[in-house]
Structures are given as C-alpha cells and as structure tokens.
Chains A and B, each alone.
Chain A
Amino acid sequence: MLKNTIIVLFIIVSILACRSGGDKSGILELDESEILEGDLEISKETIDDIIQSVSSPVEMAALVKGLGVDYSNKYLAPTDKADELSDRFSQALNLGIFAADLGYLNMYNKTSSVIEYISAIKTLADEIRVGQFFDFNTLKRLAQNYQNLDSLMYLSLRSFNEMDQYLRDNNRSGESALIITGVWIEGLYLATQVANDSPNHPELAERIGEQKIILEKLVLIIDNYKKNKQFAGLLEDLNEINSYFKDIEIKYIPGEPVSKINERGELEITQNEQSVVEISDEQLKDIIAIAKKIRDKIIKV
C-alpha cells in the first residue's frame, strides 16, 4: 500500500516538474507588495477592466501605416541596454515600450529588426518572470521566414495578451498597468513624431487628441499605486502630459448605426454617431514636446 502510494506520488511530482518546464525562471509566484504599497482606491475589477480596454500595441502603428507614412527606425527605442534595466518597475514599463515598437516593426514587415525586439522583450519578460509566454525560438523562426509574417504578428500579439492576462489573473495588475502605460507612451511618441515630421495629416492630429480618453484612464489606474515612489513619479509624468491634453475638446454628433449585408454575404455595421476632436496647432506642438520628454526619460537607463 505504502509502496503504491509512493509510486503514485513520484508520478505526480514528475508531472508537476514537467508542467513547470515552460517557465525558465522556475518561479511563477510574485508578491505584488514588492512593487506596490497600500490599498487600492478603485476595485481590482475596475483596474483590470481599464487595462484590458486599452488599445493593442499595433493600433497606432496601423494608423501611421494607413496614412502612407514611410517606415523609419528613428522612431524606435534602442534595445542595447535592455539587460541593464535593473528594477522591476523600469523593466515592466520598457517591456511595454518594446512591445509597441515590435507592433510597428510587424506592421511594416521589418523582420530583420523584429528578432532584436523579440529578444529584448524576452529578456525583460524573463526578468519580471513572465518569459514563459514568449516562445523565442518559434518567433525567431517565423521572423526568418518571410512567408509567415501573419503568423509572426499573431503570435507576437497573442503572447503579449497572454502575458497581460496572466499578470492580471495573478494579482499583478500593477505590472500589467506599467506595461500598457509603456505601450501607450510609445504609441503616443510614434504618432507625435510622425505628426512632427509630416504635418500634413490632420487625421493624425485628431487621433493624438483622442489619446486624452486613454490617458485619463491610465492616470486613474496609476494613481492607485502612488504610495510607491516609482509609481508616484510616473503619475507625475502622466499628469504633466495630461495638463497639455486637458483643454482639448471632444464633441459628439449623434447618429444611429446602420447594418447591411455586403456582396460577400458578410454583416457590416456602420456607426453614424461621430466623435470630433478640436486640437490646435499650439496644443499639438506642446504634446509632441511633452511626449518626447517623458518617453526619453523612460527609455534612459
């Protein structure tokens, strides 16, 4: 009887050992109190809801590409010092920055640089113990094979989403908030730099102005963790950006949605309610400057 029990226990231990094989750090548990202090002022559900709602790392890049703007590597954050980022706070924030850059590279099919950014993301993800979501070898293989660009984009984004979900499911919403803040700041930086270099895109100015909606939500989340010094610093930075957004007006024109079945038999819905952003050249100029200042501060090792 005892012998059988020992055998079965041995099997269980072996299986559990295999199951944790994907996590190279060997430690999945993290105590959020390491980087967070104090009680949350808004519920965890609300925080998770906001984090989940924030746009994907590729959306701003898709907008820029949609405008016909050429690719430029000058908009990317350098990855060479990724392994010098020594604290969990900077690692999470910069992971978001690199994820947005990876979205930009993927959008323009710049596979030669993709590997460098996947590698930097993997380094930081390992540091904050979520590296198990990035299958570096598969991503690298896809990046080297020009026929699998859609798969590369899908796997990159899916890995990012899985990591984010894992953090939120494991009471690590603070790190998740940092990552999406990094994604957002890099997206804002990309859009504002493109607006600076190619000022003939009024639509881009409108999309930049709309970032006010997301920024207000990020401020709300980061404010919850402000008892931590690093979070308080980030909150100050976000509030500084916010001070340039506060006078931008967003108006809404009412309208009813219209549905139709197109020639391919697909259901298409057009929203007729519209948002209209009023942003002056002066406001845009200020936002371009503040976005650069804060983003450069974050990527500085």
Chain B
Amino acid sequence: MKTIIKIISVLLFFFSSTLYSQDLTQLVAQCAANSGNVTYLKDFVVKLDAGTPGGAPPTARFAMILSKNAMYRFSICTAPTSDGDAVLQLMDMNRLLGSTFIQATGKEFPYFDFKCQKTGVYHVFISFKEGKAGEGVGILSLVKKF
C-alpha cells in the first residue's frame, strides 16, 4: 500500500507541475493581452516564497537593455492563487524609475509606460506586497518608437 501511495504522489507531482506550467502560460498570454495595443517583447515569470517577518520581501530580478526613443510598457499580473499582490519596479542602477504600486498613495496600476531616453541596461524587480508568497508575471511591451 505504501508503495502505491508513493507512486500516486509521484503521479500527482507530475500532474501538478504540468498544470502549473499551463496556468503560468495562460497567465502570460492573458497579461500580454491585457497590456493593450502594444507589441509583446518579453515576460518575467516569478514564483516567490513568503519572506521572513521584518525582513526584506523576496524579490526576483531581471536585466534588460532598453533603447533610447522608445516607449515601453511594463505590466504586472498576479496569479489568482497567490497570497500577495505582485509589484513591478523598474530600476536604473540603484535609482527607482517607476513602479506599479505607489507606496505613498497606495495606488496600484496594472501597467506603466516608460519613455526611454537613454540606451542601456535596466532591471525589473518583482516582489509581492508585504513579502507574501505568490506567483506572477511581468510583461515588457513596446508601445512605440518616437
């Protein structure tokens, strides 16, 4: 009987990993579609565990090169099963350029547009509010060249 339980556990593991990747694929597609009339460029899929009380929230970091005279859109979507809401921040070195969550006002945005004037390497940071656990997707799209 124990053997059968072990085997079923293995089966469930394979099923759940398949469902997990399907769900995230759907979330990427849905998030890209919700980004509006823009050209999808890249996605950033994250799955983060909860942080420790009082500690910094776990964060995923992604590098990208952005080009001058281009307007980019950064979108964020949280998987329905997540404990926390995903937040996307755009950084240039240590300088915060934009965020989907404005701490001072508590206002949240599903995306923000960034008019890039300097070609270079930038970083996207994705975390979950209050350091909660969650799965989410960030999308980088091209709005236009100007």
A residues sitting closer than 8 Å to B (CB atoms) are: 1, 4-5, 8-9, 11-12, 15-16, 19, 49-50, 52-56, 58-59, 62-63, 66-67, 153-154, 157-158, 161, 203, 206-207, 210, 213-214, 250, 252, 255, 257, 259, 266-275
Contacts and interface: CB of A to CB of B under 8 A. Distances in A.
Contacts of B117: 255, 270-275
Which among B4, B8, B62, B118 has the highest number of chain A CB atoms within 10 Å? B118
Given A53-B65, A58-B142, A271 B116 contact: yes
Interface stretch (B50-58, B77-85, B105-113, B128-136): B105-113
Contacts of B59: none
Contact of A275 (B63, B68, B70): B68
B67 A55 contact: yes
B18 interface: yes
B20 interface: no
Contact of A50 (B1, B43, B63, B119): B63
B46 interface: no
A158 B115 CA distance: 24
Interface of B: 1, 3-4, 7-8, 10-11, 14-15, 18, 28-29, 32, 39-43, 62-65, 67-70, 90, 92, 97-98, 100, 109, 111-121, 142, 144-146
14 contacts: A1-B3, A52-B64, A53-B65, A56-B142, A62-B39, A153-B39, A157-B40, A157-B41, A213-B119, A255-B117, A267-B100, A268-B115, A271-B118, A273-B118
Contact of A5 (B7, B28, B98): B7
Given A58-B39, A268-B112, 17 more contacts: A5-B3, A5-B4, A8-B11, A15-B15, A19-B14, A50-B63, A53-B63, A56-B142, A59-B142, A154-B40, A161-B43, A250-B119, A257-B97, A268-B113, A269-B98, A271-B115, A274-B68
A269 B145 contact: no
B118 A9 contact: no
Contacts of A5: 3-4, 7
Contact of B111 (A11, A15, A266): A266
Contacts of A16: 14
A210 B68 contact: yes
Contacts of B69: 203, 207
Nearest to A156: B40
Given A8-B8, A12-B11, A275 B98 contact: no
A49 B68 contact: no
A274 B117 CA distance: 5
B109 A266 contact: yes
Contacts of A274: 68, 117-118
Nearest to B21: A162
Contacts of B67: 55, 59, 63, 207, 210
